[in-house]
Structure 1
Amino acid sequence: MRSPAGRRGHNTDFYSGLLLVAVATVALLYIRTLSVGTVLEMGPGYFPLGLALVLLGMGLCLAVKGLLAEGNPIGSFHLRPLICVLLSFTAFGVLVERAGLIIAILAQVAIAHFASVETRWQQSLVSGVLLAAASAVIFVWLLKIPVDLLP
């Protein structure tokens, strides 16, 4: 006898698909007010509409796959990774204008480091430095986005 967590329609594929469908539906509700335009003269809603439709299609495929086949059973809910990742994004949003891009990215990576017990601090340090350097090159120097690197 199989466990209830592994039965069809009660697995990570099904619920992940439903989440993607929900996000795509909300996006489509917001996008409907934007002008789509044509292929030659794209409006502000053209690309978001395409992305939302792709996301909707992927979500439907994943949900149907979860209904038709047994997938990975739903595991326990881990609160610490969720809180750490949300706090890291919040810290970036708060710090980027006040402390600069580099410090905001380093703070984000430092906070996100605590989401996993398997990540070593050396890995997070290297990732943070490389991400900050790449972001500075791409966004500030190449794309000329007006953001301070440091306070």
Structure 2
Amino acid sequence: MKHKDLQDLIGGVLLTAVGLFFALYSQRYGFGTAARMGPGYFPTVLGWVLAVLGVLVALPALFRKGPPVKVQLGNFLFVMAALLLFAFTLRSLGLVAATFIASFVASLADRDITWIGRVLVSAGVTILTVLVFSVGLSMVLPLWWWNA
């Protein structure tokens, strides 16, 4: 096989797999109707949408050439470390500090961004996270370590 567009092919297959998983797993919950949605409605619909989008990404990739896949293990490790840091520090440090630290560590995967840029991106992600989850969705999350 000459260099098919493996990056889009793999990405599309993974999107389809994740979408199918959520669409099928959410069948355990009541679906409801469009007028009166049950707890399974939203994940089912989004799962099927994600699965269809994955197919739309993967199919054209079968018929075009692309660059060879370049695995960047360091970037993967920075992102996984950021997720784990967030998970383990949310309760003890609060949403603001945990989000800032996780965003900063994830930004280390990008070698082109400056240190000031990392701080600004981390601050922006933190502000958006607080606005969406604490203000917009009214989720009960400790914002600071003294609230935890």
TM-score range, shorter chain: 0.7 to 0.9
In the other structure, the counterpart of 2:129 is 135
State TM-score, norm by structure 1. Answer: 0.85
State TM-score, norm by structure 2. Answer: 0.87
Cα distance, 1:142 vs. partner?
4.4
List runs of 5+ in structure 2 lacking aligned partners: none
Cα distance, 1:23 vs. partner?
0.9
Cα distance, 1:45 vs. partner?
0.9
In the other structure, the counterpart of 2:6 is 11
CA distance in 2, matches of 1:140, 1:25: 30
Greater Cα radius of gyration, structure 1 or 2: 1
List runs of 5+ in structure 1 lacking aligned partners: none
In the other structure, the counterpart of 1:55 is 50
CA distance in 2, matches of 1:134, 1:58: 26
| Alignment counterpart, residue 69 of structure 1, candidates 64, 68, 81 | 64
Q: Counterpart of 1:4 in structure 2: which amino acid?
A: K
Cα distance, 1:11 vs. partner?
2.2
- Report how many residues are paired: 145
| Alignment counterpart, residue 34 of structure 1, candidates 22, 29, 36 | 29
1:113 correspondence with 2:107: yes
Cα distance, 1:101 vs. partner?
1.0
Q: Counterpart of 2:84 in structure 1: which amino acid?
A: T
Cα distance, 1:74 vs. partner?
3.0
Question: Deviation above 6 Å: which 4+ runs of structure 1?
Answer: none
Give the alignment's Cα RMSD to 1 decimal: 1.8
In the other structure, the counterpart of 1:83 is 77
In the other structure, the counterpart of 1:122 is 116
User: Residue 35 and residue 132 in structure 1: after superposition, are their counterparts in 2 closer, same or farther (change >3 A)?
Assistant: same
Identical pairs, percent: 25
User: Residue 102 and residue 29 in structure 1: after superposition, are their counterparts in 2 closer, same or farther (change >3 A)?
Assistant: same
